[in-house]
């Protein structure tokens, strides 16, 4: 059974497990995105993701509730993993995925040729930051949707939507990548493992915590990412969110540990014609997914009602409690640093 896409703006929520998928569907997601276990997608974490059987069960549950399921196969497969990647494309079709989220042009070509009626979404890992790049994927592979990297301003998103017939999905909430997704090798530089190759960034097995006289320290494959004063909240040592020294200043040289929250620009982007709002976090717990989905559902319904534009502060407050570092930013959508 296939579920027809909603004509309204879709809320697309993450799930790293069957309970998380159920939580998303039951709390108001229009679509859920998942990945298979292993190195086929950009959230390749231990204990996370779906077996083929679990995916089939999850898709059945979602479809019964009128929700869709997208399967992310968004690493860039290398020769040794090519067969696994194409097998994953075929398996995703077999279990009834409503769309595949792909980044690699070669894999897109395979999916289009072997499954001509399959919906293809260009992953954020495809790094398409302009309408001309999206046009390449549309003309070559007939993609129906593109997920935009978290580097564009709201004005740039508006202009891009005006130039492309492809549906546009934007990130609404969750962890923030400050680098163009798909064009970042910082993780492999420090650890040998990257989002593009292995589907991981700053992988947990490379993390080491130390208690030292200077304070608690986090290292990534030996590289000192941050050091915390007593009582200071310590975050996961994602490489780009560490504190480093530039000239004589020690600061978050690339990005603060903060979450993306696009609610303030959501009414504007909906008016511009976005088709979907995505929540980051397939690595998060079912309880988190339930809470974020419920709050984002409320926010989106509020915007879609059209009675008043701004999202109520109570909704923003609720999201802040779920946010990395308990703070949020509009990221590139609004650029105080521009």
Q: Between residue 216 and residue 255, which ones bind another protein under the rule CB under 8 A?
A: 219, 221-227, 240, 242-247, 249-250, 253-254
Instruction: For 226-240, give one letter per residue: b (16+ CB within 10 A) or e.
Output: bbbeeeeeebebbbb
337 binds another protein (CB under 8 A): yes
Q: Based on CB atoms, which residue is closest to another protein, 129 or 283?
A: 129
Would you call 194 exposed, middle or buried from its count of C-beta atoms within 10 A (0-12, 13-18, 19+)? buried
Sole residue written with tokens 């530039």:
246
- Site stretch for another protein (CB under 8 A), options 88-96, 147-155, 288-296, 303-311: 147-155
Sole residue written with tokens 């994953």:
88
Cβ 258 to another protein shortest distance, Å: 13
132 binds another protein (CB under 8 A): yes
Nearest Cα to 147, choosing from 189, 200, 98, 102? 102
The single residue among 106, 165, 273, 312 that binds another protein, judged by CB under 8 A, is 106
Residue 338 and residue 335: Cα distance in Å, rounded? 5
Q: Based on CB atoms, which residue is closest to another protein, 11 or 200?
A: 200
Q: Based on CB atoms, which residue is closest to another protein, 153 or 285?
A: 153
| CB-based contact 296:279 (threshold 8 Å) | yes
Cβ 30 to another protein shortest distance, Å: 28
The single residue among 172, 182, 237, 257 that binds another protein, judged by CB under 8 A, is 182
Cβ 16 to another protein shortest distance, Å: 24
Q: Based on CB atoms, which residue is closest to another protein, 102 or 323?
A: 102
The single residue among 61, 159, 268, 298 that binds another protein, judged by CB under 8 A, is 159
- For residues 298 to 317, the per-residue mask of contacts with another protein, x marking binding by CB under 8 A and - elsewhere, is --------------------
The single residue among 129, 175, 202, 283 that binds another protein, judged by CB under 8 A, is 129
| CB-based contact 321:298 (threshold 8 Å) | no
Q: Based on CB atoms, which residue is closest to another protein, 96 or 142?
A: 142
What are the beta bridge partners of residue 87? none
With contacts defined by CB under 8 A, how many residues of the chain interact with another protein? 72
| CB-based contact 33:282 (threshold 8 Å) | yes
Cβ 183 to another protein shortest distance, Å: 5
The DSSP-derived string for 24-85 is HHHTT-SEEEE-BSSTTSS---TT-SB-HHHHHHHHHHHHHTT-EEEEEE-S---GGGHHHH
Residue 137 and residue 114: Cα distance in Å, rounded? 17
139 binds another protein (CB under 8 A): yes
The single residue among 53, 87, 165, 183 that binds another protein, judged by CB under 8 A, is 183
- Site stretch for another protein (CB under 8 A), options 64-72, 191-199, 275-283, 312-320: 191-199
The single residue among 127, 202, 238, 258 that binds another protein, judged by CB under 8 A, is 127
**CA angle, residues 250, 184, 138, in degrees to nearest 5:** 145
């Amino acid at each position: 059974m296939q579920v027809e896409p909603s004509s309204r703006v879709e809320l697309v929520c993450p799930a790293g497990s069957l309970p998380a998928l159920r939580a998303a569907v039951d709390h108001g997601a229009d679509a859920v995105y998942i990945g298979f276990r292993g190195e086929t997608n950009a959230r390749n974490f231990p204990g996370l993701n779906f077996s083929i059987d679990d995916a089939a069960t999850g898709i059945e549950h979602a479809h019964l509730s009128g929700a869709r399921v997208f399967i992310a196969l968004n690493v860039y497969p290398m020769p040794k993993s090519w067969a696994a990647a194409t097998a994953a494309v075929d398996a995703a079709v077999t279990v009834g995925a409503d769309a595949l989220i792909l980044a690699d042009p070669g894999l897109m070509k395979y999916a289009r040729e072997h499954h001509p009626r399959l919906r293809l979404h260009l992953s954020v890992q495809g790094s398409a930051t302009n309408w001309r790049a999206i046009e390449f994927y549309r003309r070559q592979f007939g993609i129906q949707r593109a997920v935009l990297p978290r580097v564009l301003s709201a004005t740039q998103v508006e202009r891009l939507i005006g130039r492309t017939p492809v549906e546009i999905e934007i990130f609404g909430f969750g962890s923030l990548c400050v680098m163009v997704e798909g064009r970042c090798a910082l993780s492999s530089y420090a650890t040998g493992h990257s989002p593009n190759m292995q589907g991981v960034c700053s992988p947990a097995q490379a993390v080491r915590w130390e208690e030292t006289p200077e304070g608690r320290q986090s290292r990534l494959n030996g590289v000192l990412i941050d050091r915390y004063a007593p009582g200071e909240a310590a975050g996961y040592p994602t490489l780009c969110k560490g504190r480093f020294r530039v000239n004589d200043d020690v600061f978050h040289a690339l990005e603060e540990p903060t979450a993306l929250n696009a609610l303030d620009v959501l009414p504007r982007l909906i008016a511009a014609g976005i088709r979907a709002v995505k929540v980051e976090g397939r690595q998060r717990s079912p309880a988190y997914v339930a809470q974020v989905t419920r709050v984002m559902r409320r926010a989106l319904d509020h915007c879609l009602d059209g009675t008043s534009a701004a999202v109520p502060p109570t909704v923003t407050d609720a999201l802040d409690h779920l946010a990395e570092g308990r703070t949020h930013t509009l990221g590139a959508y609004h650029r105080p640093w521009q």
